[in-house]
Structure 1
Amino acid sequence: MVAIADCVGFYAAYHQSTEPHLKGAPVVALSNNDGCIIALSPEAKALGAVRCSAWYMVQEEYEAKGFRAFSSNYREYQAMNKRLMKIMARYVPRLETYSIDECWMDLAGINDIEAIVPKLIKDVKQLTGIQIRIGVAPTKTLAKVAINLAKTTPDNFCILDNSDRIQSALRCIAIEDLWNVGAQYAALLHRNGIRTAARLSVTPEYWVRKKMTVLGWRTLQELNGIPCLDLVEVMNPKKNIGVGRSFKKTTSDEQTLVDAATYYSFRLSEKLREEKLVATVLQIKLRTNKWRVDTAQHQPCMVFHLDKGISNGLDITKHAQQAVRSIVAANRKSRAQYKYMKFEINASGLVPEDENQILIGDQFDAGAKNRLSRAIDMINLQLGKGKVCFANNLSAWKQDTKDKYIMRQEYKTPNYFTDWNEAPILH
């Protein structure tokens, strides 16, 4: 048997769990730059809040109803995710993190599943304040069916452990709601009279394989209780890692753009070291506001192919600053006045740091830079982001300059899990 656990309105639930006075209050989490609603608490849904609504359009109406909105804080969400995974790992032999708010669990060898599942839900709620749902079934696809039904049960779980329960559940799932069935396949199945998961489960294999390729065939097999998708305990290495943020206001000022490049390059280097990877290709982009038809558009990009893989902040920042200065110099030469609203830096050609090819005579230099970067990571983790930086990067970390290129977060909560200085104090 396999199970999937899903957090209920994870981003909004995080804010309710770290701000206890919000328990029972309608809470929404906003996208970057406080643009749209991306997560809702059950209380917010009950009052009619709609996901993807532009916050500036509904703010007055929702605040009059007592809504509380919060800016997205992804590092905090990731920290809560790690806490959730550690708690759930106590109950199962194997676990696969599927997304920031979902994970698969292997229940092999667990006899009393109906007793374990509600206890797990209760413990997660008690230790984190996050409400989770769990769907249990013989295969991953059936577990996805189970968790859809768990949304309608007061116990927040559904167990499909026999053929009668499975068939009854499949009759309740519309084909467009079935996992791994996209819009095009759903339209194809509708045209052929297949409108529910139960109907698909009895469709001839040759037809499914011909019309839906091997992915559809796997879905068919899983609907009939034959596992085709294994749990992945060790995820494949990432192929690329990127950091990109929109500014509060558009700008053409060279120093502001260089500071933005410095700030986000440092974050990229942190991500690479967290994943224990090094990059052999760096891509730096600047973006104007594509929605403004009254201004000139410019999307410059520079790519650096490196002789060796890097993950330290010194080298990554040097390349990013060089790219931005080159772009600004070219604009100045052509007398162009572009106002940029976004900086992006992407690392690709990633290899594990212990497999990085070091150039002859460069081993000491690379090792020293990596050790220095890790030491800075440890200090900043304890004292706060940006407390230690390089002297030529200092202006990027000053609060009065950061406000020019850091995205809008007017409703940001403290970094309870990732900054000791902002951790709550009990009196």
Structure 2
Amino acid sequence: MFALVDCNNFYASCEQLFRPDLRHRPVVVLSNNDGCVVSRSPAAKALGIPMGVPAYQLREAIACHGVEVFSSNYALYADISQRVMRILAALAPEVELYSIDEAFLDVGGIAGLEDFGRQLRTTVRQWTGVTVAIGMAPTKTLAKLANAAAKRFPATGGVVDLHDRKRQLRLLRIMPVEEVWGVGRRLSRRLRLMGIETAFDLAARDQGELRRRFSVTLARTAAELDGLPCFGLDEAPPPRKQIISSRSFGERVTDLAAMHQAVCTYTATACEKLRRGRQYARSMSVFIQTSSHAAAPYYGNAAHGSLPVPSGDTRDFHRLARRLLESIWKEGHAYVKAGVMLHDCCPTTPLQLSLLGKQGLHASDALMAALDRINHSGRGRVFWANQGIDPSWTMFRNHLSPSYTTNWNAIPCVR
């Protein structure tokens, strides 16, 4: 038996945690550079505000209905997510972190699954203030569908247990095929042309035919809907083969020095992710691009380079990134986006190097470990000078809320 725990309207819920005045008001959270809606509170959904709508189209709703708008506060969301996941890890035997607001649990062998789900939901709510929906079933795909039912039907109390096959079939018959995990809008249109309208129709279809006409993955999805587990719990995600760090700029970048700061910042972020996974990388790519919608001619380019030996040292990649950037930079363009990608990632051990190479690598690892400890301590942050002191290119977040749980100066005061 698997359980899928999903935080309801997670970004919007995090914004409401420390603002009781917003509990019943419409709240939306915007994407990078305050672009589009990526999260909505129930009140905002009731107003008919769709996902992905551009922020400028909300002006009338803000004026008429008092919609509260927030920029994405990733520091706050990541910290609340970690608190929720720690609770799940303490109460369930095994946990797979699926996304920032979702986790699969192994609940096989637990007696009284529905009672366990309600206890889990109550504990998360009491300890963090976040409301979750829980779906439980013999397969991960059915658990995902049960979770969708827990959100859609208020009478369930936020918990749906599908261990009984009769309950599974009832739900499969009323769930549209596009609600199935891994079936998007494009695939659902193709399935509907074959007469597959519901999840029940997909489960009843011949798996060999699905494999021939679509993919092995869809055939396994159909098998999971039929109650046959094909996807196990993945407690340790596979090591990354590549790491990317990229952002759109808040303002157009026309100066090489400013672009160098941005590329160095993205490189530092990618290297920190690399070390967090206990990996080295041997090569990297740098890319820059202008807007494809601007009146000026479009320009985009990328360059690739390698290090003599694998490394996790930010300084090595900063030097390489500078050379790559200079090789593709063209004056006279207004750039809107840049990014870096680390390739050829490998575990830090075992790694065959020369004796002198190992000594240098150990010293480098110790320095990077000290840097990461400082940055994760909560007492301050150390950054590289070539990232710039007050960059103007960073994405703008005009509606950013305080980082209530990660910044001493942002702790809410009760008067």
User: If the length of structure 1 is used for normalisation, what is the TM-score?
Assistant: 0.90
Instruction: Find the residue that maps to 2:97 and give its secondary structure.
Output: strand
State the match for 2:276 in structure 1: 274
User: Counterparts of 2:347 and 2:198 in 1: how far apart (Å)?
Assistant: 44
Find 1:363's aligned residue among 358, 362, 374.
Answer: 358
For residue 378 of structure 1, what is the amino acid of its counterpart?
R
Instruction: Find the residue that maps to 1:5 and give its secondary structure.
Output: strand
User: Counterparts of 2:30 and 2:297 in 1: how far apart (Å)?
Assistant: 29
Alignment of 1:72-91 (within 5 A): 72-91=72-91
State the match for 1:8 in structure 2: 8
Alignment of 1:414-425 (within 5 A): 414-424=402-412
Equivalent pair of 1:308/1:357 in contact (CA under 8 Å): no
State the 1:424 CA deviation.
4.5
Instruction: Find the residue that maps to 2:205 and give its secondary structure.
Output: coil
State the match for 1:380 in structure 2: 375
Deviation readout 1:262-287 (Å, 9 max, x if unpaired):
22222222221222221111111111
Alignment of 1:26-45 (within 5 A): 26-45=26-45
Equivalent pair of 1:28/1:37 in contact (CA under 8 Å): yes
For residue 346 of structure 2, what is the amino acid of its counterpart?
V
Instruction: Find the residue that maps to 2:62 and give its secondary structure.
Output: helix
Equivalent pair of 1:382/1:420 in contact (CA under 8 Å): no
State the match for 1:288 in structure 2: 290
Alignment of 1:103-252 (within 5 A): 103-154=103-154, 155-252=157-254
Cα–Cα, structure 1 residues 375 and 415, in superposed 2: closer, same or farther, change >3 Å? farther
State the 1:345 CA deviation.
0.8
State the 1:321 CA deviation.
2.3
Cα–Cα, structure 1 residues 12 and 250, in superposed 2: closer, same or farther, change >3 Å? same
Q: Structure 1 unaligned runs (5+)?
A: none
User: Counterparts of 2:194 and 2:21 in 1: how far apart (Å)?
Assistant: 52
Is 1:348–2:350 an aligned residue pair? Answer: no
State the 1:19 CA deviation.
3.4
Deviation readout 1:1-46 (Å, 9 max, x if unpaired):
1111111111111111243443222211111110000111112111
Equivalent pair of 2:14/2:130 in contact (CA under 8 Å): yes
State the match for 2:389 in structure 1: 398
Find 2:400's aligned residue among 412, 417, 420.
Answer: 412
Equivalent pair of 1:382/1:419 in contact (CA under 8 Å): no
Instruction: Find the residue that maps to 2:122 and give its secondary structure.
Output: helix
Alignment of 1:58-69 (within 5 A): 58-69=58-69
Instruction: Find the residue that maps to 1:405 and give its secondary structure.
Output: coil
User: Counterparts of 1:356 and 1:16 in 2: how far apart (Å)?
Assistant: 48
Q: Percent identity?
A: 32
Instruction: Find the residue that maps to 2:404 and give its secondary structure.
Output: coil
For residue 241 of structure 2, what is the amino acid of its counterpart?
K
User: Counterparts of 2:378 and 2:228 in 1: how far apart (Å)?
Assistant: 51
User: Counterparts of 1:286 and 1:382 in 2: how far apart (Å)?
Assistant: 33
Q: Which moved more, 1:22-31 or 1:54-63?
A: 54-63
User: Counterparts of 1:425 and 1:363 in 2: how far apart (Å)?
Assistant: 51
For residue 318 of structure 2, what is the amino acid of its counterpart?
T
Instruction: Find the residue that maps to 1:290 and give its secondary structure.
Output: coil
Instruction: Find the residue that maps to 1:380 and give its secondary structure.
Output: helix
Equivalent pair of 2:251/2:394 in contact (CA under 8 Å): no
Equivalent pair of 1:132/1:156 in contact (CA under 8 Å): yes
State the 1:343 CA deviation.
1.7
State the match for 1:313 in structure 2: 314
Cα–Cα, structure 1 residues 308 and 47, in superposed 2: closer, same or farther, change >3 Å? same
Q: Structure 2 unaligned runs (5+)?
A: none
Equivalent pair of 2:242/2:345 in contact (CA under 8 Å): yes
State the 1:250 CA deviation.
1.3
User: Counterparts of 2:382 and 2:151 in 1: how far apart (Å)?
Assistant: 46
User: If the length of structure 2 is used for normalisation, what is the TM-score?
Assistant: 0.92
* Number of residue equivalences: 413
